[in-house]
Amino acid sequence: MKFRRQGKIDNGLNLTPLIDVVFLLLIFFMVTTTFSKETGLMIKLPEASGMPVVEMPDMLDLVISSDGDYSLNGKGLINREIGTIMAALNDASAGDISVPLIITADANSSHQSVITALDAASKLGFNTLHIATQQPFEK
């Protein structure tokens, strides 16, 4: 006697279309996401943890205030032009470019003010240049 086999009924769920839909949703959200750009950098200037420099008697100290005014060895300069800075450095050093120059800039001074001071020192040929910083605050 020949018995007829009953066909197997597939009650399972086909996961292939479900996976395809999930991947399509993932691609959609990745493409439509907007990325925010930061317009500025949050930096804190200037701090360093090096050893302090021993002061030598024949040093030039060029100080730049937060609003961009210059003073050389405690005497204020009349304007912010590079020619004035060069003349003051030349007079204070008496033409000796081997005298160490320390540039002390306020943390809030503009970058252009510091670059102008560096440019003046470079044009005169100063070969020993220091930039003053402060120790970071211990918390």
Domain locations in the chain as residue ranges: 60-131
Q: Identify the pLDDT of residue 53.
A: 59
CA distance 139 to 136: 9
Q: Identify the pLDDT of residue 52.
A: 64
Three-state secondary-structure class, residue 83: helix
pLDDT tier for residue 40 given thresholds of 50, 70 and 90: very low
Q: What does the pLDDT average to over 111-135?
A: 85
Give the amino acid at 52.
P
State both tokens at 43. 């930096």
State both tokens at 8. 């197997």
Among the ranges 8-22, 31-45, 116-130, which has the highest mean pLDDT value?
A: 116-130
CATH annotation of 60-131: 3.30.420.270
Q: What does the pLDDT average to over 26-33?
A: 88
pLDDT higher than threshold 60 for residue 76: yes
CA distance 60 to 125: 14
Among the ranges 2-16, 35-49, 121-135, which has the highest mean pLDDT value?
A: 121-135
